[in-house]
Amino acid sequence: MQHFYKKALICLLCLIGINALVGYICIDRTYLHLPLLPAEESELAWRAEPSSDAIQNGLSSIKLKDDQFGLSFEFTIVKKAEHPFASVAMSFIDQTNNNIMIDLSQYNSISFSSKCSPANTLTFSVLTFEEKVSIPNDFLTYRNPSTFFSCSDHWAHNNIDLTRLETPDWWIAMFKLDLSEQTYVLNKVPRITFSSTFQSPIGKLAEVQIDAITLHGRDWRYLYFLGIFMILIWSGYAVWFFRQHTLALIGDLKINYKEIVH
């Protein structure tokens, strides 16, 4: 029996080691982290596209200063257009530099650090393709779930829940949808955008710096696999243990019987 217990202990230690390794790999891959900045560390290719109400004959302007190490830009809002604005979009692209839509449905939040001078209130939005409404490459027809965040002259960390964004009323009204239709899906996203709001400074230069943009999510398939793997491997060990224990016990009884007979 002593030989059996040594063998069982060695197998037990090996299984614990295997479980620890598989568990670490599965848990690590369950929690997704996808950096967009710095650009060289991102698995997703994108390009920065500044825009302003100049396209609507407005006088607001925007200048992109950096899009590699951080997203840095400056803008001036001028009240001429009906809805003055300035924005920078991070548009996803393929290897040939063409705009594409990507699947972000595995990600439930995005984090970044921001700094503004002077203090500002900005909009973060995600464009999503809306079935029966959106027209490919006509971004005005894409739903743009959004939220606001404050930005001061001190670096601040922001964490935005991608599942709780709100679609602007004007977009819903434009396409004659019901106000209750706030549901959106992040499986076809062409870009994410940082833009000014009606509370942004008017008539003065505003500087914005955004760093360390990272998407966070969960891929539960790895935890499901880990659970199934542990059930199978420990069930197999239990069956093996009791069978081998029975055989070892029978073997010892035979040996003891022979010794008694002789």
Higher pLDDT: 174 or 126? It is: 126
> Is residue 66 located within the same domain as residue 168?
yes
How confident is the model over 141-162, as a mean pLDDT?
95
> Is residue 119 located within the same domain as residue 49?
yes
> Is residue 121 located within the same domain as residue 150?
yes
> Is residue 206 located within the same domain as residue 241?
no
What pLDDT score does 12 carry?
82
> Is residue 22 located within the same domain as residue 118?
no
Number of domains in the chain: 2
Among all chains, which residue has been given the structure tokens 């360390």? 212
Task: Identify the band that residue 262 occupies on the pLDDT scale cut at 50, 70 and 90.
Answer: low
How confident is the model over 219-233, as a mean pLDDT?
86
- What is the CB neighbour count within 10 angstroms for residue 76? 20
Ranking 88-102, 147-161, 204-218, 220-234 by mean pLDDT, the lowest is: 220-234
What pLDDT score does 254 carry?
64
> Is residue 79 located within the same domain as residue 25?
no
What pLDDT score does 178 carry?
87
- What is the CB neighbour count within 10 angstroms for residue 128? 21
> Is residue 158 located within the same domain as residue 231?
no
> Is residue 125 located within the same domain as residue 229?
no
What pLDDT score does 225 carry?
87
What pLDDT score does 63 carry?
95
Question: Are 32 and 218 a contacting pair, CB within 8 Å?
Answer: yes
Give the CB-side neighbour count of residue 107, counting CA atoms within 13 A: 22
Residue 35, preceding bond cis, omega within 30 degrees? no
> Is residue 193 located within the same domain as residue 169?
yes
> Is residue 65 located within the same domain as residue 174?
yes
Among all chains, which residue has been given the structure tokens 């809805």? 83
> Is residue 118 located within the same domain as residue 6?
no
Question: Are 110 and 183 a contacting pair, CB within 8 Å?
Answer: no
**Where residue 49 sits, what CATH number does that domain have?**
2.60.120.430
Whole domain around residue 6: which residue ranges? 2-31+221-261
> Is residue 22 located within the same domain as residue 51?
no
